[in-house]
């Protein structure tokens, strides 16, 4: 079985999107699947260089990630997006573009995200040194119907990855033999 799907991680900076995505990538590759991660920071450096952080630029960035995920998904590759993607409307746009789409909300309190922030961006935003920081002075719109909610301040990254894996099985994106490979 080979069915492409996009696994769309969304959540605040520091919520654990990239960490869980990497765990899932490793497991999926061990099960013999082709996987690509589109990490928000990496995409901004390579695919979206020159875009700022206005709402329009953020929307453009997320639509670009969505388009690449669409191309990968239709070619039976599992695309994993790990980008804040703060606006519901653009996530919904990508969902309808891609079709095979599993939204994963990495839910984590703002306080915990700030504690995890090794770059100190939350502290700078809270002091007013950075403007338009998602969750501080720019909105983050929580998903209304995410297929998976990972409460990353209450569960380990491995437990969160397990939840995503189980949903992929349930939705038929992973076969029984692939699921067995994960448990091996």
CB under 8 Å to 94, separation ≥6 — which residues? Answer: 6, 8, 62, 63, 65, 66, 69, 70, 101
Catalytic site residue from 13, 85, 175, 177: 85
Long-range contacts of 121-126 (CB under 8 A, 24+ apart): 121/13, 122/13, 122/14
CA 41 to chain centroid, in Å, comes to: 12
85 as an active site residue: the answer is: yes
Contact 8, 90 (CB under 8 A): no
CB under 8 Å to 100, separation ≥6 — which residues? Answer: 3, 4, 5, 6, 73, 173
Residue environment code for 52-87, b if the CB has 16+ CB neighbours within 10 A, otherwise e: eeeeeebbebbbbbbebbbebbeeebbbbbbbbbbb
The span from the CA of 47 to the CA of 60, in Å, is 11
Catalytic residue set: 85
């Amino acid at each position: 079985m080979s069915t492409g799907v996009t696994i769309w991680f969304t959540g605040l900076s520091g919520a654990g999107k990239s960490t869980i995505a990497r765990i899932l990538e490793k497991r999926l590759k061990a099960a013999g699947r082709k996987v690509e991660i589109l990490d928000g920071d990496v995409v901004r450096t390579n695919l979206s260089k020159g875009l700022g952080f206005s709402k329009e630029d953020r929307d453009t960035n997320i639509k670009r990630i969505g388009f690449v995920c669409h191309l990968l998904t239709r070619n039976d590759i599992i695309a994993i997006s790990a980008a804040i993607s703060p606006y519901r409307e653009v996530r919904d746009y990508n969902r309808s573009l891609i079709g095979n789409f599993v939204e994963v909300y990495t839910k984590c309190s703002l306080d915990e995200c700030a504690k995890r922030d090794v770059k100190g961006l939350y502290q700078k935003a809270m002091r007013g040194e950075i403007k338009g920081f998602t969750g501080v002075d720019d909105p983050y719109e929580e998903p209304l119907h995410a297929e998976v909610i990972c409460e990353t301040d209450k569960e380990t990254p491995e437990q969160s990855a397990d939840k995503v894996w189980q949903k992929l099985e349930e939705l038929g994106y992973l076969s029984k033999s692939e699921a067995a490979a994960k448990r091996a």
